[in-house]
Amino acid sequence: MIDTFSWSNPWAIAIALNTVLLTIAFISPKKLLTPLGNINGAILGILVWGTLGWRGYVVVIFYFIVGSGLTFVRMEQKEAEGIAEERSGKRGAGNVWSSALAATICAIATLFCASPIRELFILGYVASFCTKLSDTTASEVGKAYGKTTYLITTLKPVPRGTEGAVSLEGTLAGALASIILAVIAWAIGMISWVGIIWCVAAAFIATTVESLIGATLESRLSWLTNDMVNFINTLIGAIAAITLALLVFY
């Protein structure tokens, strides 16, 4: 029993660290997540640290801090235009898992795989968060600073915040965000330098598909909620990166 909870055990560290962070989140006057979102965020944190250690944790924390921060950029303007995130930007449990479920699946899969398959799932993990950060950045920057937004299927100008709309400002910001996160993952030893290319390319592919889904299907299918689209987006990002790596090296 002592060995199970020793500080050399990543699961013990994961539980202790996320318990502390959960406590801080509950008592902090500035709320980034709802109470249920905080609990689910702690569960996610435990799973990530327990499977991928501090490196995997750095990736998800970077996504969370930057993604949450961008949500509050020009919040009053977004709320006035009716295009702000629900609950004044606070994320709920659905937001947590729609953004991180694909990455969590990849992280858990690493426990059951040896090299080189394990490295492919790690690549998928990083690519999934690169995709979500790119999507979040493109959306929030586009809403806040996009001068002209175009529907991706017709390239006709549409109001900011329209499902399936893209802007130059948002697209460039989203690409930069995916590059930065991929470089961080490389710098801490999670992926190779060529993995940066796969993650950035996968993020671009997935966010483009996500915009197409938003413009064509999201309003027509009741089950295709925003959370479901986010999950599909991140799953495509993970699969795309793994597929690109396999096509080149195998």
**pLDDT tens, the chain, 250 aa long:** 444 445 568 999 999 999 999 999 889 887 778 889 999 999 999 999 999 999 999 999 999 999 988 888 877 777 777 666 665 667 888 899 999 999 999 999 999 999 899 999 999 999 999 999 999 999 999 888 888 889 999 989 998 878 888 999 999 999 999 999 999 999 999 999 999 999 999 999 999 999 999 889 888 888 889 899 999 999 999 999 999 999 987 6
Q: Annotate 130-146 with b (16+ C-beta within 10 A) or e (fewer).
A: bbbbbbbbbbbbbbbbb
Contact 167, 213 (CB under 8 A): no
Residues in the chain: 250
Specify burial of residue 227 (Cβ count, 10 A radius: 0-12, 13-18, 19+).
middle
Which helix (H) or strand (E) covers residue 80, if one does? helix 75-81
Neighbouring C-beta atoms of residue 8, cutoff 10 Å = 7
pTM of the entire structure? 0.91
Distance CA(125)–CA(108), nearest Å, equals 10
